[in-house]
Amino acid sequence: MENIKKNIESGEIVWSSIKLQLKDEYGETEYSNWLKLLTFSKIEKEIIIFYAPTKFMCDWILSHYGKKILSMWREKNKSIKDISVIVYNDSKTNKRKDENYTSFKKTISSPETDDFENNLDPRFTFKDFVVGKSNELAFSACRRVADSVDVPFNPLFLYGGVGLGKTHLMHAIAWQRKKLNPKFKIMYLSAEKFMYEFIKAIRSKNTVPFKEEFRSVNLLMIDDVQFIIGKESTQEEFFHTFNALADQNRQMVISADKSPSDLEGLEERLRSRLGCGLVADIHPTTYELRLSIIELKIEKYNIALSKDVIEFLAHKITSSVRELEGALTRLAAHVTLVGRTVNLEIAEDLLQDLLRASDRRTTIDQIQKKVAEHFNVKMSDMHSSRRSRNIARPRQIAMFLSKNLTTRSLPEIGRKFGGRDHTTVIHAIKKVNELVKNDSSLAEDIEILTRSLQS
């Protein structure tokens, strides 16, 4: 009895500290949607037992966080072999959980995965990546790298804003390559981890194994390379690693939040090296892409959302796919807990904070100001009734961007442009959509404006 009590107590303590780490890592929203609802029960035969309120949650938590929790726990207690989640049903009765759980129980059982798998998210595959205009170049380049026997471009440099799929694509390359050739030595790590490993090697006064390890891989992928800006010796080491691998014709894939030429503070020689292969950018998502992503995810999560809720999400949550996922998982959690589908009103209510955050991001005034500057017209021309092409065009572009980058409705946008009718706004959007098809310099203008408004 004493023993059991002790076991629970120390387990509780470990679990609380792991929960804090998880909260840090995944953020408040994801944490309270899922992880908070997982309760520790006991440790039995080196298996940690948790309770979750529904079967859906049990599946979700195990597939999304199971390995992570297990490896965190094993850092504190090596003897732990597995985790198991039991579904209980305490919403309707007040009985003790133990007497009340259903027979559903699931474990992950993957005690000794190698480093390769530990570093990679099993959900990030090509199959689960939705391709649209904004990411098709990056996607095809990654597929080429994954499927080629030779080295198609070195390095492949991926860049784009946060939450747009860079990490996802890199993991997808790794999974695919490994599938084609299990012997292929692949190393994926963040630039931060690279620095950390390098410093560790320096501290131990032996950098040889570090160098050897990195220089022996067939494919090296470094994520978020902007992290090493300003870290001189890490940059230098990275430069040498890069050259050594390039000399042996080994493939490298690098990601960053900006293009090599825009990464201020990066050493010149490294910058030119990074830009000498294929540079592929991932643009902000389009409405259509967001729709397809939502459709794919709700199918995977196996939740039903009505068309108006799906369209509402695609319109309102525009900043990144990560936020879109955050919104969807929150709705999914609600559906499984309450057991009812969400309508538009409930969705708005549940996502209030996310919606407010994305509303704050860009305002129509900011868009008008930026566009006016960019095309060298007066701010007042955004509201004026002048129709000459050199004024009307920028105005249409500003309307187009207002629809894409804010959550304002068409009539609201019309009002902001000197009290125009919503049909004028529709016309402007159509027009711009048509023009960009054949006018690449206009497409580029829009791209530049979008980026600078969203940064």
- Which stretches of the chain bind ligand ADP, using CB under 6 A? 124, 128-130, 135, 160, 162-168, 293, 321-322, 325
What's the one-letter identity of residue 31?
Y
Provide the minimum distance between the beta carbon of 328 and ligand ADP in the complex, in angstroms, as a whole number.
10
Provide the minimum distance between the beta carbon of 389 and ligand ADP in the complex, in angstroms, as a whole number.
36
17: left (phi over 0), alpha (psi -120 to 50) or beta: alpha
* Count, residues near Mg ion per rule CB under 5 A: 2
Least Cα distance to 280 among 168, 162, 159 occurs for: 159
Least Cα distance to 43 among 15, 75, 23 occurs for: 15
Provide the minimum distance between the beta carbon of 329 and ligand ADP in the complex, in angstroms, as a whole number.
10
Only one residue has tokens 């990411």, namely 135
Contacting residue, 41, 167, 235, 450, with Mg ion by CB under 5 A: 167
The listed partner (ligand ADP, Mg ion, none) that binds 327, CB under 5 to 8 Å by sort, is none
Least Cα distance to 254 among 221, 217, 216, 214 occurs for: 221
Nearer to ligand ADP, 219 or 289 (CB): 289
Nearer to Mg ion, 128 or 236 (CB): 128
Provide the minimum distance between the beta carbon of 129 and ligand ADP in the complex, in angstroms, as a whole number.
5
Nearer to ligand ADP, 88 or 139 (CB): 139
- As a whole number of Å, the end-to-end CA separation of the chain is 58
Interface stretch with Mg ion, choices 161-169, 257-265, 345-353, 385-393 (CB under 5 A): 161-169
Nearer to ligand ADP, 322 or 361 (CB): 322
State which residue has the least CB distance to Mg ion.
167
What's the one-letter identity of residue 136?
E
Provide the minimum distance between the beta carbon of 25 and ligand ADP in the complex, in angstroms, as a whole number.
13
Only one residue has tokens 């950018």, namely 281
Query: Beta strands 105-107 and 82-87: pairing type?
Result: antiparallel
Site string for Mg ion, 6-25 (x = CB under 5 A): --------------------
DSSP letters along 43-78, please? EETTEEEEEESSHHHHHHHHHHHHHHHHHHHHHH-T
Nearer to Mg ion, 120 or 432 (CB): 120
Nearer to ligand ADP, 255 or 368 (CB): 255
HEC-encoded secondary structure of 147-185 = HCCCCCCCCEEEEECCCCCHHHHHHHHHHHHHHHCCCCC
Rounded distance between C-alpha atoms, residue 454 and residue 401, angstroms: 11
Rule CB under 5 A: is residue 320 a binding residue for Mg ion?
Answer: no
The listed partner (ligand ADP, Mg ion, none) that binds 321, CB under 5 to 8 Å by sort, is ligand ADP
Query: Beta strands 186-190 and 278-282: pairing type?
Result: unpaired
State which residue has the least CB distance to ligand ADP.
165
Least Cα distance to 330 among 300, 350, 352 occurs for: 350
The listed partner (ligand ADP, Mg ion, none) that binds 130, CB under 5 to 8 Å by sort, is ligand ADP
Only one residue has tokens 């050259």, namely 243
Provide the minimum distance between the beta carbon of 131 and Mg ion in the complex, in angstroms, as a whole number.
18
Nearer to Mg ion, 167 or 396 (CB): 167
The listed partner (ligand ADP, Mg ion, none) that binds 277, CB under 5 to 8 Å by sort, is none
Assess contact for 368 and 377: CB atoms under 8 A.
no
Read off the tokens for 167: 């990490």
Nearer to ligand ADP, 40 or 124 (CB): 124
Considering Cα of 278, then 281, then 286, then 288, what sign does the dihedral take? positive
Nearer to Mg ion, 167 or 176 (CB): 167
Read off the tokens for 135: 């990411």
Provide the minimum distance between the beta carbon of 357 and ligand ADP in the complex, in angstroms, as a whole number.
16
Read off the tokens for 40: 């520790």
Rounded distance between C-alpha atoms, residue 174 and residue 301, angstroms: 24
What's the one-letter identity of residue 98?
D
Nearer to ligand ADP, 37 or 172 (CB): 172
Rounded distance between C-alpha atoms, residue 67 and residue 308, angstroms: 36
The listed partner (ligand ADP, Mg ion, none) that binds 163, CB under 5 to 8 Å by sort, is ligand ADP
Q: CA angle 24-322-164, nearest 5°?
A: 120
Provide the minimum distance between the beta carbon of 219 and Mg ion in the complex, in angstroms, as a whole number.
18
Provide the minimum distance between the beta carbon of 237 and ligand ADP in the complex, in angstroms, as a whole number.
23
Provide the minimum distance between the beta carbon of 297 and ligand ADP in the complex, in angstroms, as a whole number.
7
The listed partner (Mg ion, ligand ADP, none) that binds 129, CB under 5 to 8 Å by sort, is ligand ADP
By the criterion CB under 5 A, which residues form the site for Mg ion? Answer: 166-167
